[in-house]
Chains A and B, each alone.
Chain A
């Protein structure tokens, strides 16, 4: 398999991104290595082919943002908004992730081996997120669809104003947000969770997780008022 390498110490980020957008064929499965990322923002955003991108170091904001089809592996930590609005493919952060990890992702899988900051999975729209460690406050805020797996603990207001997304939590949440509630795990939950854990390369027992979903009491504005807005 042909390998491509970009050294961000000597070549420009825009040139690399443009190459990845315009010089790859639709079924390109090559390996791309990004050297010396040094926390650069917007590495490998808007990918649209099934390539694999290995980022050899820390990434800044929005690494793998709006990804489609590609597999992006960050061999370090990621800044704010890693894999934001991902559509498909995989983004794997070997280190820690900052705020808004996987924000508004419509599809694909985001795996974070370490901890994630505030608002992980905010406004999630169908993507899957597996966090090996803990997440900060307001994670899963207004998450509409998709699944979040948190193997550690969660901060305040987990799952605030949830729509139809489901959160699986192994540790403890400091507090649940408005309209979020613990629910019983079903067989479907156990098998979904087992599959997500296996994709993330984690071997926790699905039985050790709790399910958090929406009580759906905020879906309609003050139902007592007979919708007399």
Chain B
């Protein structure tokens, strides 16, 4: 039985390795490494493919895709990067920081270009030089503060829940704390270490009598948003989102990024690199050129927030 097992295991290995060694030479092979399944990250990927299409690349004819996601496991992200390198992909697209650092490390040997997206601070992650570039999803913090001020002229304190181990959240909190004073706000930030602690943190903020909550792109908070909104609606506290999906779910408004757009911008950059028009090293990373203002008027009227004319004029309504 053991011999049989050994044979079966060996055969599976050999076959699979053989399978990943086979590679046709014509269309570009693009490896997409996504950190996990998550609406914002999924939108990035979706947009990335749109961006490639926009640049005139057709899937199947001009490029083939190898899409992998790591299920939020850093160690799997490492292996995904290495499997792309072993496949000799022509370009790696990495979505979120852990995937990007893993792809960049794996690509070093063969100098495969890496295009990242959904990274807040590429400079801190040392992804700003070398054969790597992409787009940053840095939140428009000032625009968000401005929006909150317009919707709640009397508000003093903004409560924020964030995960201490998420790099994007930590850098966003720093910016919130730096800029809040300019708009007359104080920030009451509570750090959590796991998704299960988010609602508890929200309870704490409610008991601190914050005037509203503002979300980052924090995976744990966004993941429990429905439960968060249940609590805040009961307490009559509005929640501001950080991107369109959260406003659809019931946040009152957001000055945020459209991840599809961000992905599209990334896809266009990738196409330029693939076609050889420019190398990653000569293409600095980009932040999103424009942000959108999204409102959910149903949620607003429930919390008796009146939308000023100037906001209505520019905002995109998300309530159905």
Q: Do A and B bind each other?
A: no
Q: Please give the residue numbers on chain B whose beta carbons come within 8 Å of chain A beta carbons, in ascending order.
A: none
Q: Please give the residue numbers on chain A whose beta carbons come within 8 Å of chain B beta carbons, in ascending order.
A: none
